[in-house]
Amino acid sequence: MKVRLNRFLSESGVASRRKSEEFIKEGRVNVNGRTILDLGTSIDTDTDIVKVDGEKVKPEKKVYFLLNKPKGFITTTEDEKGRKTVVDLVKTNTKIFPVGRLDYDTTGVLLLTNDGDFANFLMHPSNKIPREYKVALDKPIEDEHRTKLTKGITLEGRKGKFEKIYYAHKDYKDKLVVTTVEGRNHFVKRMFEALGYTVKKLERLTYAHFDTKGMPIGSYRKLSDQEIKSVYAQYKH
């Protein structure tokens, strides 16, 4: 399989893609015994031998985790303020990263992996991967606003909408479940804020067809290759 050299290094756990480019520029990377300085170099992962500082690079096995994210963790791999990150919750020797983001105080379904292609597939807008959220508002929602949210409103010059919206409990109009295929930052909160509501609590119930039913908050499980294949099978155009 042909891939860019910097991507191969990154996905093999050597360093970030940017750092890998620095290694290449510094002449620390060679392929089949030849020092590579061209950042645009591609390699064949099946046949080419890549070394960094004389050490052979072995491709890492792809891993996938489903986490029931608790509050109080940021969705990143590291934090300059020293706050706890979601990566701290998953015990693995493989360098992983979260797929997309959930806010510090948002809970629920979060996927983590070392597979950049899978992450990009899930997040790319053209694939329209659904995400379902349970929302608690600061006040009951008006019926006309529910309708507006499914028809679409403008956020920063672009139309956004919920695919579905319904009450989480029939007796409480401030608790809703919404489905969206949007991945923009703070999208659910900003949609409600645009109509004068504040989201007091937010939980992601599903992403694609993954959910955390039966999983205690803060727990995680490894996903099987078959589960990953089923995502491609269901959503690939």
Cα dihedral sign, 21-2-9-37:
negative
Q: Among 48, 79, 88, 103, which one carries the catalytic annotation?
A: 103
Around Cβ 44, how many Cβ atoms within 10 Å? 12
Query: Based on the number of CB atoms within 10 Å of its own CB, is 48 exposed (0-12), middle (13-18) or buried (19 or more)?
Result: middle
C-alpha to C-alpha distance for 211 and 197, rounded to whole angstroms: 27
C-alpha to C-alpha distance for 93 and 113, rounded to whole angstroms: 12
Q: Please list, in sequence order, all residues whose beta carbon lies within 8 angstroms of the beta carbon of residue 153, skipping any fewer than 6 positions away.
A: 159, 160, 161, 191, 194, 195
CA nearest to 222, candidates 64, 105, 26, 54 = 64
Can you give the three-state secondary structure of 133-175, one letter per residue? EEEEECCCCCHHHHHHHHHCEEECCEEECCCEEEEEECCEEEE
* 48 catalytically annotated: no
CA nearest to 66, candidates 184, 178, 206, 234 = 206
Would you please indicate which residues are annotated as catalytic (active-site) residues?
Answer: 103
